Amino acid sequence: MVIAEPWRSRLLAMLCGALLPPAFAPLSFFPLSLVIPAIVFLLWLNKTAAEAARIGFWFGFGLFGVGVSWVYVAIHVFGYTPAPIAVVMTLVFVAFLALFTSLQGYVSGRLLTAYRNHPAYETLAILLILPSCWLLFEWVRGWMLTGFPWLNLGYSHIDSPLAGVAPIVGVYGVSALSLFSSALLLLLIRQPAWRIRSGIMLVVIWAGSALLGQIAWTEPVGKPLRVSIVQGNVPQITKWDPAKVSLRLDTYEQLTRENWDDSDLIFWPENSISMFYHDLKKFYFAPLEAEIRKRNVELIVGLPWLNLDTGLYYSSLVSIGATPGVYHKRHLVPFGEYVPLEGVIRGLVSFLDLPMSSFSRGERKQPILMAAGQPVAPSICYEDAFGEEVIDFLPEATLLINGSNNAWYGNSLAPHQHLQISRMRSLETGRMLIRGTTNGISAIVDHRGKLVARSPQFERFVLKGQVQPRQGATPYVRLGNWPVLCLLLAVAGWIGFDLRRRR
């Protein structure tokens, strides 16, 4: 495959990027996550570092331009930003994310140039350098500037045999095996001498991952809990409308009263109520709590929490009932929940000047939240995209609980992608997940990352089911991302040593 003109390589790279999102939810056609990287590897071969950077940029522009196009919905529809400005802001965001793949291409190109005269240049490039650089920059994107780990390759394999390694090495480990598989496929096609070896290694990787997926890393503890997840589907526009606050309050209270006789735990998602807990405590939550206690039910509510001493406020989950407690969100969304360089850029566009867009960050170490007698690992919306943070509450926690407000993104890819990410957290930790959203998709996920039940979107709905608390620790809970980072360090060390030796 030879593409001489640089613009054709860049155009093909952008097309490859645009075709990769269907590997993720809702289409979930994971074979694309094997084929597309192989094509991109091929585009990077024999390129200068500068040209590899350009190819990487256009690949990233296609990937994020399609995969996170839902950002426009949040900015324009619910952020009240004029369409032209919203388009520009979305394109700027996409271009910023594409800089990561551009830098990935540049680093790959520099290393490939250094190995250009090596007798096994192509094998080293395809099997070691290109997959390692991809994995490295997935990880970097996951933490730099608070992180944005969306569309990491590993998530596309939540329903493939490679998912079996997630409880051991997490989503980045799944990405590593996916990338290595892409490299083996490319070698199988390009190098006849590698066909048998590539085939054998692919069988070992995929069959071995499937076998590992049969291991039960955790075990049940206690009796199952009856759960009711309340999805109010109250229009997002009412969130800041004082005249509509009573609509939200009445909706969630009514749905709770209809379901508390056959529930141990009732869950209201993030932003189910948009008033401070303290403003509602006496006239709203106190009477509700009294009736809940009589029925031996617990309620967890997602709403803002004001610290009366400091004046700081948080996005929180509040447990009401026999074991009261509060969890404050620790990982905030830039521009959505806080504004970087606030004094400089706030007020430039309406999206940055919404009410309650200056939340404070909760402490990294917080008391564990209890729900119906069980310790839970809480996360609010975007937080469950960071597996290394979810495991802070494990192995003590026996369940995962996530409250999200997906109403920001309307009928887009975002709610489906987010559910896929949430499922990976269950698989990594060996815990069932209770996931409540304002307008869908609410879900109950088992300890292997499989959907037990899910709600429809854009409907007022109460999702009911049972969750089994579990105890024990997967290898990922104990080690986090360190095995993958050690692998990257080993590859970097070997390359550095080899290049110095060859000089």
Catalytic positions, please?
A: 270, 329, 381
Contact 471, 395 (CB under 8 A): yes
Find the angle CA(365)-CA(367)-CA(369) to the nearest 5 degrees.
Answer: 125
Determine whether 193 is exposed, middle or buried from the number of CB atoms within 10 Å of its CB (0-12, 13-18, 19+): exposed
**Angle value at C-alpha 287, between 283 and 288, nearest 5 degrees:** 110
End-to-end CA distance of the chain: 32
Q: Record the tokens describing residue 403, joined without a space.
A: 């409250």
Q: Give the largest CA-CA distance in the chain.
A: 77
Query: What does the alpha-carbon distance between residue 453 and residue 260 come to, in Å, rounded to a whole number?
Result: 19
Angstrom distance (rounded) from CA 121 to CA 45: 10
Query: How many whole angstroms separate alpha carbon 108 and alpha carbon 384?
Result: 30
Distance CA 104, CA 40 (A): 12
Alpha-carbon span 239 to 181, nearest angstrom:
46
Amino acid at residue number 377: A
Alpha-carbon distance of 420 to 25, in angstroms, equals 6
Mapping DSSP onto H, E and C, the string for 415-429 reads HHHHHHHHHHHHHHH
Q: Provide the 8-state DSSP code for 26.
A: T
In 3D space, the residue among 277, 282, 336, 270 whose CA is nearest the CA of residue 308 turns out to be 277
Tell me how crowded residue 110 is: count the other CB atoms within 10 A of its CB: 16
What residue type is 112 in one-letter code?
L
Element (H, E) at 12: helix 6-19
Q: Where are the alpha helices (DSSP H) in 405-481?
A: 414-429, 475-479
Q: How far apart are CA 298 and CA 305, in angstroms?
A: 19
Residue 289 CB-density burial (10 A; 0-12 exposed, 13-18 middle, 19+ buried)? middle
Token output for 172: 């980045």
Measured CA to CA, the distance from residue 403 to residue 423 in angstroms comes to 14
Q: Please compute, for residue 23, the number of CA atoms within 13 A of its CA located in the half-sphere on the CB side.
A: 27
Q: Please name the helix (run of DSSP H) or strand (run of DSSP E) that holds residue 281, with its range, or none.
A: none
Contact between 115 and 125 under an 8 Å Cβ cutoff? The reply is yes
